[in-house]
Amino acid sequence: MPIIQGLLLGFGTAFLLGPVFFTLLKNALKFGKIAGIATALGIVFSDIVVILICFIATAPLIESIKTEPLVKILGSSILLIMGIRLIFWPAENYEGSSSTANNSFKNHLKCFVQGFLVNGVNPFVFVVWIGFVSIGQSKYDQSDLLFFITSILSGIFLTDILKSIFASRILPYLAPKYLKKAYFIIGILLLSFAARLLALVFL
């Protein structure tokens, strides 16, 4: 059960649009599938670092969210800014370039580092993993928790590999008319989450 649930959560990340998604897609289209997979490896290694941080920080952070109004205000402010940005200033249209495969180790290492850094500096990655770790800790013992987290990582890595392989087929769906609608919906959701979190300050 923890393996199945973990894989489903990992596969679900395939529908998340953000800097990591576009970095992976850009590298796969520009430098080839291997470069995309190298980027995916960087993302997974970054996730592992974030997981280790979450295991250390989860308990006090969750407790502070429950009791500290400033944390709620800060969190709602971040969500508010991101939501407004997505609604009124959506990301630029992504235009792929023809593949100019460069199979050098240096190029693949560069893609790996890009995946690691872009994923690691994204605050929403921490939010997502804090949620996953919290779910796992509340439902499973230590051995099952390890299977749960490993399955999520496996699901993420598999979907990222598929994105790298099928990057050219994904590209047509990144036209402005599709992106604007997707970002508008995500922006509205973020605003609703921000309002809900801010409301908790006064309740």
- pLDDT tens-digit profile of 143-182? 888 888 899 899 889 988 988 888 777 767 666 676 677 6
Predicted local distance difference test score (pLDDT) of residue 74: 65
Token pair recorded at residue 85 = 């940005």
Q: Looking at the predicted structure, is the pLDDT value of residue 4 above 90?
A: no
pLDDT grade for 134, boundaries at 50, 70 and 90? confident
pTM listed for this prediction:
0.65
Res 171: pLDDT? 67
Confidence (pLDDT) at 98: 47
- What burial letters (b/e) apply to 126-151, b meaning 16+ CB within 10 Å? bebbbebbebbbeebeeebbebbbbb
